[in-house]
Structure 1
Protein backbone atom coordinates (compact mmCIF):
# COMPACT_ATOMS: atom_id res chain seq x y z
CA UNK A 1 0.00 0.00 0.00
CA UNK A 2 2.95 2.34 0.44
CA UNK A 3 3.22 2.53 -3.33
CA UNK A 4 -0.26 3.99 -3.68
CA UNK A 5 -0.12 7.60 -4.83
CA UNK A 6 -1.51 9.98 -2.23
CA UNK A 7 -1.18 13.02 -4.48
CA UNK A 8 -0.80 13.75 -8.18
CA UNK A 9 -2.97 10.78 -9.09
CA UNK A 10 -3.96 10.32 -12.71
CA UNK A 11 -7.43 11.75 -12.08
CA UNK A 12 -6.04 14.79 -10.24
CA UNK A 13 -3.58 15.48 -13.04
CA UNK A 14 -6.30 15.17 -15.69
CA UNK A 15 -8.58 17.59 -13.82
CA UNK A 16 -5.75 20.05 -13.26
CA UNK A 17 -4.78 19.96 -16.95
CA UNK A 18 -8.37 20.71 -17.97
CA UNK A 19 -8.67 23.57 -15.48
CA UNK A 20 -5.32 25.06 -16.52
CA UNK A 21 -6.24 24.81 -20.21
CA UNK A 22 -9.30 26.99 -19.56
CA UNK A 23 -7.18 29.67 -17.92
CA UNK A 24 -7.90 28.80 -14.30
CA UNK A 25 -5.05 29.12 -11.84
CA UNK A 26 -5.06 27.23 -8.57
CA UNK A 27 -2.94 25.92 -5.72
CA UNK A 28 -2.01 22.24 -5.40
CA UNK A 29 -1.76 20.43 -2.05
CA UNK A 30 -2.92 23.58 -0.26
CA UNK A 31 -2.89 23.29 3.56
CA UNK A 32 -6.29 23.26 5.24
CA UNK A 33 -6.34 26.43 7.39
CA UNK A 34 -6.22 25.53 11.07
CA UNK A 35 -5.82 21.79 10.49
CA UNK A 36 -2.22 20.59 10.40
CA UNK A 37 -1.31 17.65 8.16
CA UNK A 38 -4.41 18.03 6.01
CA UNK A 39 -4.33 19.20 2.42
CA UNK A 40 -6.72 20.32 -0.29
CA UNK A 41 -6.02 18.62 -3.64
CA UNK A 42 -6.85 21.70 -5.73
CA UNK A 43 -7.59 25.00 -4.02
CA UNK A 44 -8.80 28.39 -5.17
CA UNK A 45 -7.97 30.37 -1.99
CA UNK A 46 -9.39 33.74 -3.04
CA UNK A 47 -12.69 32.24 -4.14
CA UNK A 48 -12.54 29.85 -1.15
CA UNK A 49 -13.24 26.73 -3.21
CA UNK A 50 -11.68 23.43 -2.16
CA UNK A 51 -11.62 20.51 -4.60
CA UNK A 52 -10.99 17.07 -3.14
CA UNK A 53 -10.78 13.96 -5.30
CA UNK A 54 -11.29 10.87 -3.17
CA UNK A 55 -10.12 7.38 -4.01
CA UNK A 56 -12.87 4.78 -3.95
CA UNK A 57 -11.01 2.34 -1.69
CA UNK A 58 -9.52 4.81 0.78
CA UNK A 59 -12.61 6.96 1.24
CA UNK A 60 -15.39 4.37 1.09
CA UNK A 61 -17.12 4.92 -2.24
CA UNK A 62 -20.60 3.36 -1.99
CA UNK A 63 -20.26 2.03 -5.55
CA UNK A 64 -16.70 0.70 -5.72
CA UNK A 65 -15.31 0.30 -2.20
CA UNK A 66 -13.91 -3.12 -1.41
CA UNK A 67 -13.38 -4.68 1.98
CA UNK A 68 -10.14 -6.60 2.49
CA UNK A 69 -10.62 -10.06 3.96
CA UNK A 70 -7.14 -10.24 5.46
CA UNK A 71 -6.89 -8.26 8.70
CA UNK A 72 -10.47 -7.09 8.11
CA UNK A 73 -11.06 -5.42 11.48
CA UNK A 74 -7.91 -3.28 11.19
CA UNK A 75 -8.86 -2.17 7.68
CA UNK A 76 -12.45 -1.40 8.70
CA UNK A 77 -11.18 0.84 11.52
CA UNK A 78 -8.66 2.52 9.21
CA UNK A 79 -11.20 3.25 6.48
CA UNK A 80 -13.82 4.44 8.98
CA UNK A 81 -11.26 6.91 10.39
CA UNK A 82 -10.54 8.15 6.85
CA UNK A 83 -14.24 8.81 6.25
CA UNK A 84 -14.62 10.56 9.63
CA UNK A 85 -11.58 12.73 8.82
CA UNK A 86 -13.16 13.64 5.47
CA UNK A 87 -16.38 14.75 7.19
CA UNK A 88 -14.42 16.74 9.79
CA UNK A 89 -12.35 18.50 7.13
CA UNK A 90 -15.44 19.35 5.07
CA UNK A 91 -17.24 20.76 8.13
CA UNK A 92 -14.19 22.79 9.15
CA UNK A 93 -13.74 24.33 5.70
CA UNK A 94 -17.47 25.06 5.42
CA UNK A 95 -17.37 26.82 8.79
CA UNK A 96 -14.56 29.02 7.45
CA UNK A 97 -16.70 30.01 4.46
CA UNK A 98 -15.21 27.65 1.87
CA UNK A 99 -17.22 25.75 -0.71
CA UNK A 100 -16.06 22.14 -0.63
CA UNK A 101 -16.38 20.05 -3.78
CA UNK A 102 -15.72 16.32 -3.29
CA UNK A 103 -15.53 13.94 -6.22
CA UNK A 104 -14.90 10.21 -6.49
CA UNK A 105 -11.92 9.09 -8.53
CA UNK A 106 -14.24 7.41 -11.04
CA UNK A 107 -15.98 10.70 -11.91
CA UNK A 108 -15.03 11.85 -15.41
CA UNK A 109 -12.41 14.62 -15.29
CA UNK A 110 -14.41 16.70 -17.78
CA UNK A 111 -17.43 16.66 -15.47
CA UNK A 112 -15.27 17.57 -12.47
CA UNK A 113 -13.63 20.46 -14.33
CA UNK A 114 -17.03 21.80 -15.50
CA UNK A 115 -18.42 21.76 -11.96
CA UNK A 116 -15.28 23.35 -10.50
CA UNK A 117 -15.22 26.09 -13.12
CA UNK A 118 -18.89 26.96 -12.59
CA UNK A 119 -18.48 27.02 -8.80
CA UNK A 120 -15.33 29.16 -8.86
CA UNK A 121 -16.90 31.59 -11.34
CA UNK A 122 -20.02 31.88 -9.15
CA UNK A 123 -17.92 32.42 -6.00
CA UNK A 124 -15.81 35.07 -7.71
CA UNK A 125 -18.94 36.98 -8.72
CA UNK A 126 -20.14 36.83 -5.09
CA UNK A 127 -16.71 37.66 -3.64
CA UNK A 128 -17.47 41.16 -2.25
CA UNK A 129 -20.53 39.85 -0.43
CA UNK A 130 -18.55 36.91 0.95
CA UNK A 131 -15.84 39.21 2.27
CA UNK A 132 -18.37 41.31 4.18
CA UNK A 133 -19.95 38.25 5.81
CA UNK A 134 -16.86 36.21 6.65
CA UNK A 135 -14.22 38.81 7.46
CA UNK A 136 -14.02 40.27 10.97
CA UNK A 137 -14.94 43.99 10.94
CA UNK A 138 -11.63 45.10 12.50
CA UNK A 139 -9.50 43.68 9.64
CA UNK A 140 -8.83 45.91 6.66
CA UNK A 141 -7.61 45.15 3.15
CA UNK A 142 -8.81 43.00 0.30
CA UNK A 143 -10.21 39.50 0.84
Structure 2
Protein backbone atom coordinates (compact mmCIF):
# COMPACT_ATOMS: atom_id res chain seq x y z
CA UNK A 1 0.00 0.00 0.00
CA UNK A 2 1.15 3.50 -0.72
CA UNK A 3 1.90 5.68 2.30
CA UNK A 4 0.87 9.25 2.89
CA UNK A 5 4.59 10.03 3.18
CA UNK A 6 5.18 8.90 -0.41
CA UNK A 7 2.35 11.12 -1.64
CA UNK A 8 3.41 14.11 0.47
CA UNK A 9 7.10 13.81 -0.44
CA UNK A 10 6.19 13.65 -4.13
CA UNK A 11 4.10 16.77 -3.67
CA UNK A 12 6.92 18.62 -1.92
CA UNK A 13 9.48 17.53 -4.53
CA UNK A 14 7.37 18.41 -7.57
CA UNK A 15 5.07 21.23 -6.59
CA UNK A 16 7.11 23.86 -4.82
CA UNK A 17 4.96 26.29 -2.87
CA UNK A 18 5.67 28.62 0.00
CA UNK A 19 5.74 27.14 3.49
CA UNK A 20 2.95 29.55 4.38
CA UNK A 21 0.57 27.78 1.98
CA UNK A 22 1.51 24.22 2.92
CA UNK A 23 -0.04 22.62 5.99
CA UNK A 24 2.43 21.87 8.76
CA UNK A 25 0.19 19.99 11.18
CA UNK A 26 -0.28 16.25 10.65
CA UNK A 27 -4.09 16.44 10.70
CA UNK A 28 -4.08 19.22 8.11
CA UNK A 29 -1.79 17.16 5.87
CA UNK A 30 -4.19 14.20 6.20
CA UNK A 31 -7.12 16.44 5.25
CA UNK A 32 -5.23 17.72 2.23
CA UNK A 33 -4.39 14.21 1.05
CA UNK A 34 -7.98 13.03 1.55
CA UNK A 35 -9.24 16.01 -0.44
CA UNK A 36 -6.79 15.30 -3.29
CA UNK A 37 -8.01 11.69 -3.29
CA UNK A 38 -11.60 12.91 -3.67
CA UNK A 39 -10.59 14.92 -6.75
CA UNK A 40 -8.53 12.00 -8.08
CA UNK A 41 -11.46 9.59 -7.65
CA UNK A 42 -13.87 11.98 -9.30
CA UNK A 43 -11.69 12.68 -12.32
CA UNK A 44 -10.49 9.11 -12.87
CA UNK A 45 -13.71 7.39 -11.72
CA UNK A 46 -11.62 5.47 -9.21
CA UNK A 47 -12.33 4.22 -5.69
CA UNK A 48 -9.11 5.04 -3.85
CA UNK A 49 -9.55 5.16 -0.07
CA UNK A 50 -7.44 6.86 2.58
CA UNK A 51 -6.79 5.37 6.01
CA UNK A 52 -5.49 7.91 8.52
CA UNK A 53 -4.84 5.28 11.18
CA UNK A 54 -2.24 3.50 9.02
CA UNK A 55 -1.33 6.59 6.96
CA UNK A 56 -1.83 4.65 3.75
CA UNK A 57 -4.21 4.35 0.82
CA UNK A 58 -5.96 1.07 0.13
CA UNK A 59 -3.60 -0.13 -2.62
CA UNK A 60 -0.15 0.32 -4.07
CA UNK A 61 -0.29 3.29 -6.46
CA UNK A 62 1.68 3.55 -9.65
CA UNK A 63 4.21 6.34 -10.00
CA UNK A 64 1.78 8.03 -12.39
CA UNK A 65 -1.02 7.95 -9.79
CA UNK A 66 1.23 9.33 -7.05
CA UNK A 67 2.34 12.15 -9.35
CA UNK A 68 -1.27 12.96 -10.29
CA UNK A 69 -2.24 13.07 -6.60
CA UNK A 70 0.70 15.37 -5.85
CA UNK A 71 -0.42 17.74 -8.58
CA UNK A 72 -4.00 17.64 -7.31
CA UNK A 73 -2.64 18.76 -3.93
CA UNK A 74 -0.98 21.75 -5.60
CA UNK A 75 -4.08 22.49 -7.67
CA UNK A 76 -6.25 22.61 -4.56
CA UNK A 77 -3.75 24.85 -2.75
CA UNK A 78 -3.69 27.24 -5.71
CA UNK A 79 -7.49 27.37 -5.88
CA UNK A 80 -7.67 28.08 -2.15
CA UNK A 81 -4.97 30.73 -2.40
CA UNK A 82 -6.84 32.45 -5.24
CA UNK A 83 -10.15 32.35 -3.36
CA UNK A 84 -8.54 33.68 -0.17
CA UNK A 85 -6.83 36.50 -2.04
CA UNK A 86 -10.05 37.48 -3.83
CA UNK A 87 -12.16 37.39 -0.69
CA UNK A 88 -9.61 39.22 1.42
CA UNK A 89 -8.54 42.02 -0.90
CA UNK A 90 -11.28 42.62 -3.46
CA UNK A 91 -13.55 44.56 -1.08
CA UNK A 92 -10.66 46.86 -0.13
CA UNK A 93 -8.95 47.47 -3.46
CA UNK A 94 -10.05 51.11 -3.65
CA UNK A 95 -9.68 51.80 0.08
CA UNK A 96 -6.12 50.61 0.49
CA UNK A 97 -4.94 51.48 -2.99
CA UNK A 98 -4.08 48.06 -4.30
CA UNK A 99 -3.30 48.89 -7.89
CA UNK A 100 -2.15 45.50 -9.01
CA UNK A 101 -5.11 43.45 -7.74
CA UNK A 102 -6.16 42.52 -11.28
CA UNK A 103 -2.62 41.53 -12.21
CA UNK A 104 -2.30 39.31 -9.17
CA UNK A 105 -5.69 37.67 -9.81
CA UNK A 106 -4.73 37.08 -13.45
CA UNK A 107 -1.48 35.50 -12.31
CA UNK A 108 -3.29 33.21 -9.87
CA UNK A 109 -5.85 32.30 -12.56
CA UNK A 110 -3.00 31.42 -14.93
CA UNK A 111 -1.31 29.27 -12.27
CA UNK A 112 -4.57 27.41 -11.60
CA UNK A 113 -5.14 26.84 -15.34
CA UNK A 114 -1.57 25.65 -15.87
CA UNK A 115 -1.87 23.22 -12.97
CA UNK A 116 -5.20 21.90 -14.30
CA UNK A 117 -3.58 21.41 -17.73
CA UNK A 118 -0.61 19.63 -16.14
CA UNK A 119 -2.96 17.20 -14.38
CA UNK A 120 -4.72 16.48 -17.65
CA UNK A 121 -1.36 15.93 -19.37
CA UNK A 122 -0.30 13.49 -16.65
CA UNK A 123 -3.60 11.62 -16.91
CA UNK A 124 -3.26 11.42 -20.69
CA UNK A 125 0.31 10.15 -20.42
CA UNK A 126 -0.76 7.48 -17.93
CA UNK A 127 -3.73 6.49 -20.12
CA UNK A 128 -1.62 6.20 -23.25
CA UNK A 129 0.56 3.64 -21.48
CA UNK A 130 -2.47 1.42 -20.91
CA UNK A 131 -3.74 1.55 -24.50
| Pairwise same-fold verdict (TM > 0.5) | no
Higher relative contact order (CA 8 A, sep 6+): 2
TM bin, normalised by shorter chain, reads 0.3 to 0.5
TM value normalised by structure 1? 0.39
TM value normalised by structure 2? 0.42
Greater strand content: 1
